[in-house]
């Protein structure tokens, strides 16, 4: 039987499949189902930076008004009447670590480095095995320069790494003027992982009602092409582990991502559409493919089709487009 275990950010995972941050990773009951289905790890539903700042301010005001010190021990989260978002989140981490064995990656949706990074230590203290920073800065600010946009990413990383010892990954978009360069720079900051890519809300237009309407909530199967390309380009040069997400809807795509150089794949839309039990099938299908190709471990085929390893690395670059269509 092939061994599909792997490592990611120094964590030992029984499968390369990670349940991505979503509403499906927001309760102990659902996380237990995800673990039973065979996921390698779980990324908890993200806390938003605004939630952290607002709730911490509220708690500080309460402390001053009632003249007591905010307890820091996990016994507090065991016995406290959970009435705020942050306490609920910390309690969830503690409960999952107590009642399951699945590695837990806490998640924060961040847009600045102001006033909240010290809270990351609370996630570590609650038992989180790692932290994923979903840096969701939409590039639609006409007043912000590209340099300021990039600098914010580095500021967030710097401030969070000051506060925690657990491995930290960042989840980024592809909205950079030099994506290859920024991936290399970010990977050298001391983070343990890079997740490519997060998805922003995108609007559509209804030509009948003449209204701007939401587009698809879930990713599409074809969306994997973009992260696949950049995983392939970055693997072997990035100074941290890479994780692929967006458009990963089947085991064949998962295998492609690992061949390109991803240590893990993160899935959410597929779990919503097919149920968390589908993870077990994906694991079996990966094992079946490995048997067919005579691979005994994930490491034996990890990254063998990255641009660093293939005989024709130009296949990952845009000039190939001209080659294929110049004679059409």
- b/e burial code for range 263-276 (CB count within 10 A of at least 16 → b): bbbbbbbbbeeeeb
- pLDDT above 60 (res 326): no
The residues near 136 (Cβ < 8 Å, ≥ 6 apart) are: 109, 110, 111, 173, 198, 200
Q: pLDDT tier at 306 (50, 70, 90 boundaries)?
A: very high
CA distance 160 to 169: 11
- The Cα 43–Cα 278 span in angstroms is 17
Residue 1 falls within a domain, yes or no? no
Domain assignment present for residue 250? The answer is yes
From the list 30, 31, 38, 37, the residue with the least C-alpha distance to 14 is 38
Percent above pLDDT 90 for the chain: 72
Inside any domain, residue 108: yes
List the alpha helices (DSSP H) in the chain. Answer: 28-37, 49-66, 74-79, 85-99, 120-126, 146-163, 179-187, 225-234, 251-260, 269-274, 278-293, 319-325
* Nearest Cα residue to 298 out of 262, 268, 271: 262
* CATH number of the domain enclosing 117: 3.20.20.70
Q: Which residue in 63, 57, 111 sits closest to 85, CA to CA?
A: 57
For the segment 199-210, the average pLDDT, to the nearest whole number, is 87
* 306 within a domain of the structure (yes/no): yes
Does residue 36 lie in a domain region? yes
- Residue 225 resides in a domain: yes
| Least-confidence region, from 107-111, 217-221, 240-244, 278-282 | 217-221
pLDDT confidence of residue 136: 85
Calculate the average pLDDT of the chain. 89
Residue 55 lies in a domain: yes
224 belongs to a structural domain: yes
pTM of the model: 0.89
- Total domains in the fold of the chain: 1
Instruction: State mean pLDDT over 80-103.
Output: 87
Confidence band of 84 (pLDDT split at 50, 70, 90): confident
Which pLDDT band holds residue 199 (cuts at 50, 70, 90)?
confident
pLDDT in tens, 150-184: 999 999 999 999 999 999 999 999 999 899 999 99
The confidence band for 20, taking pLDDT boundaries of 50, 70 and 90, is very high
pLDDT reading at 78 higher than 60:
no
pLDDT for the residue numbered 161: 98
Length of the chain: 328
Domain with 41, as residue range(s), is 6-325
């Amino acid at each position: 039987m092939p061994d599909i275990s792997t490592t990611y950010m120094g964590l030992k995972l029984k499968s390369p499949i990670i349940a991505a941050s979503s509403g499906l990773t927001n309760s102990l009951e659902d996380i237990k189902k995800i673990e039973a289905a065979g996921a390698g790890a779980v990324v908890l539903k993200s806390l938003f930076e605004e939630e952290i700042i607002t709730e911490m301010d509220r708690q500080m005001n309460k402390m001053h008004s009632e003249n007591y010190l905010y307890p820091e021990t996990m016994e507090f989260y065991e016995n406290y009447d959970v009435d705020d978002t942050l306490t609920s989140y910390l309690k969830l981490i503690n409960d999952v670590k107590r009642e399951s064995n699945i590695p837990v990656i806490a998640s924060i949706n961040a847009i600045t480095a102001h006033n909240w990074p010290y809270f990351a230590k609370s996630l570590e203290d609650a038992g989180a095995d790692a932290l994923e920073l979903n840096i969701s800065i939409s590039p639609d600010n006409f007043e912000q320069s590209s340099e300021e946009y990039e600098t914010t990413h580095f500021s967030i990383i710097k401030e969070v790494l000051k506060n925690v010892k657990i491995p930290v990954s960042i989840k980024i978009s592809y909205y950079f003027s030099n994506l290859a360069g920024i991936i290399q720079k970010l990977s050298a900051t001391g983070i343990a992982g890079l997740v490519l890519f997060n998805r922003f809300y995108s609007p559509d237009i209804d030509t009948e009602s003449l209204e701007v309407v939401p587009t698809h909530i879930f990713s599409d199967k074809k969306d994997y092409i973009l992260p696949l390309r950049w995983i392939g380009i970055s693997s072997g040069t990035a100074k941290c582990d890479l994780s692929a997400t967006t458009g990963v809807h089947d085991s064949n795509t998962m295998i492609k991502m690992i061949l390109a150089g991803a240590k893990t794949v993160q899935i959410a839309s597929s779990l919503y559409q097919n149920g968390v039990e589908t993870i077990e099938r994906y694991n079996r299908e990966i094992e079946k493919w490995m048997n067919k190709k005579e691979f005994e471990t994930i490491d034996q085929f990890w990254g063998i089709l990255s641009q660093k390893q293939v005989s024709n690395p130009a296949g990952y670059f845009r000039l190939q487009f001209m080659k294929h269509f110049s004679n059409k």
